[in-house]
Amino acid sequence: GAVVSQHPSRVICKSGTSVKIECRSLDFQATTMFWYRQFPKQSLMLMATSNEGSKATYEQGVEKDKFLINHASLTLSTLTVTSAHPEDSSFYICSADPWDRVFNEQFFGPGTRLTVL
């Protein structure tokens, strides 16, 4: 199967700072990547759909100016949490959709644990 990586795996930051999370598809190209957030004991919630070369599409209730998404290449999407606050502490997971549709499933990264102090 295809591999998706995320970096960093874990980050602790102070309130008010910005944090960038990278999502890479290692052995395939992805025109579409997705960003999810998961709070403890809850399910994954889709935040936004990231399209290579165009603006991301955000789900209702997700602030696009707070969660900046850039999908500059077919193998890399980044999520920047700007002016992070403790309530942004969560498990952030990306997934990538292979553009050539050889596969019918999405591939998920291992997740990034964000803790905002």
Partner 1 sequence: DAKTTQPPSMDCAEGRAANLPCNHSTISGNEYVYWYRQIHSQGPQYIIHGLKNNETNEMASLIITEDRKSSTLILPHATLRDTAVYYCIVRPRPTGANSKLTFGKGITLSVRP
DSSP result, the chain: ---EEEE-SEEEE-TT--EEEEEEESSS-EEEEEEEEE-TTS--EEEEEEETTS--EEPTT--TTTEEEEEEETTEEEEEE-S--GGG-EEEEEEEEETT-SSSS-EE---EEEEE-
CB of 68 to partner 1, least distance (A): 19
- Contacting residue, 15, 17, 110, 115, with partner 1 by CB under 8 A: 110
The yes or no reply on residue 28 touching partner 1 (CB under 8 A) is no
Q: Show the site string, 58-87: x = touches partner 1 by CB under 8 A, - = not.
A: ------------------------------
CB of 83 to partner 1, least distance (A): 26
The residues of the shown chain that bind partner 1, judged by CB under 8 A, are: 1, 4, 6, 31-32, 34, 36, 43-46, 49, 51, 57, 91, 93, 95, 97, 101, 104-111, 113
